[in-house]
Amino acid sequence: MTGPPKFPSFTAKFHNTSYPAIDPALPGLSAAGKNVVITGGGTGMDYSVVTVETCSNDHPVIGIGYATALSFATAGAASVTLIGRRATQLQSAKHAIEDSVPGSAGRSRIHVQSADVVDQEQVTAAFQKIADTVGPLNILVNGAGYAASPSNVKSANVEEWWKACEVNLKGTFLTTQAFVQHKVPDDQESVILYISSGLSHVARGTGNSAYAASKAGAIRFFTTVQLEHPETRVVCLHPGTIETDVLRKSHNVSGSVPNCDDVSLPANTMLWLASPEANFVKGKYIWANWNVEEMKARAAEIEGSDLLSMKLSGWPFTSK
């Protein structure tokens, strides 16, 4: 579905669900031969934990990381490894992918590792085990995230505020560090994707200072990662508005959030971002809602300028 933009949009088309140009069946989006690691990939498929509190709809909430794993598995990735803290959730996700993507189970393509991304020892051990099992890594999707309970600065709980910074910044740093230590040699394609949030650059509403600041900080972190690793494509993505636990907590609601996008949109957009077609958005920050064909038509302009980069607005300071 394509509808009128809910937000100002870089492209004329503003998508709410997947569309043909990002279809995992496209040969140009094949992930064959790629080892993919997705943090926060286990949410949504353990139906036994879906309760009235966590899901008031008649469908289970499906996390963005899990949906992204499905896209990469569908596109034939050599391996997809899911990282999260809850082993049961991860196992459910693994079995759900193996059940829905033909050939996944028999070829042992789907792996899981429980780890808390803020714990260096756990992250180091998890990535060592992944690399020992599947070999050098090609693609990292940093999806693990935490939304602090909305609260204005005056009354915010400091532990809750800091937890968002720890997961969204320290956790992202640790998994990215481990990935670059285990990635394929520089002459082979490697990609780091970060699921940011529009709140990192759109100042709307109050009560989200921890989430917005940590997501914005991570964007700047990845600017440096891109400079240090020119051989790797590093891209940050606003995933759209997806009905998940993170979204409900950040909106302070226990029920449904209206007008959500379909989780297939960020999932398949990340598959596209991991393909050579997306080389022109290296080091950039895009929204999943934007049309990739319209962006491709402006590839040279995007690549050769500060377009779609985080910077001070209203001031013609260029970094090129």
Ligand X SMILES: NC(=O)c1ccc[n+]([C@@H]2O[C@H](COP(=O)([O-])OP(=O)(O)OC[C@H]3O[C@@H](n4cnc5c(N)ncnc54)[C@H](OP(=O)(O)O)[C@@H]3O)[C@@H](O)[C@H]2O)c1
∠ CA(214), CA(283), CA(237), 5° rounding? 50
Short-list 111, 107, 27, 29, CA closest to 69: 111
Nearest C-alpha neighbor of 243 from the set 233, 223, 258, 232? 258
Q: Which is nearer to ligand X, 134 or 210 (CB)?
A: 210
Number of residues that bind ligand X (CB under 6 A): 30
- What distance in Å separates the CA atoms of residue 226 and residue 230, rounded to the nearest whole number? 6
| Least distance (Å) between residue 43 CB and ligand X | 3
Q: Is 149 helix (H, G, I), strand (E, B) or coil?
A: coil
**Least Cβ distance, residue 320 to ligand X (angstroms):** 29
**Minimal distance, residue 30 CB to ligand X, in Å:** 25
Per CB under 6 A, 145 contacts ligand X: yes
User: Is 89 a residue that touches ligand X (CB under 6 A)?
Assistant: yes
Q: Which is nearer to ligand X, 76 or 217 (CB)?
A: 217
Residue 171 near ligand X by CB under 6 A: yes
CA distance 192 to 248: 27
Residue 200 is a binding residue for ligand X (CB under 6 A): no
User: Any contact of residue 144 with ligand X (CB under 6 A)?
Assistant: yes
From CA 67, how far away is CA 266, in angstroms rounded? 8
Residues 43 and 84: beta-carbon distance below 8 Å: yes
Stretch that binds ligand X, among 17-25, 72-80, 83-91, 300-308 (CB under 6 A): 83-91
Question: Is 69 among the residues that bind ligand X (CB under 6 A)?
Answer: no
Q: In the range 252-311, which residues lie near ligand X by CB under 6 A?
A: none
197 touches ligand X (CB under 6 A):
yes
Q: Which residue has the tokens 């180091």?
A: 124
Helix (H, G, I), strand (E, B) or coil at 26: coil
Q: Which is nearer to ligand X, 226 or 289 (CB)?
A: 289
| Candidate segments 70-78, 84-92, 290-298, 311-319, binder of ligand X by CB under 6 A | 84-92
Residues linked to residue 141 through DSSP beta bridges, in sequence order: 38, 193
Residue with tokens 């949906």: 67
C-alpha of 306 from chain center:
22
Residue 245 interacting with ligand X (CB under 6 A): yes
List of residues contacting ligand X (CB under 6 A): 39-40, 42-44, 63-65, 84-86, 89, 116-118, 143-146, 167, 171, 195, 197, 239, 241-242, 244-247
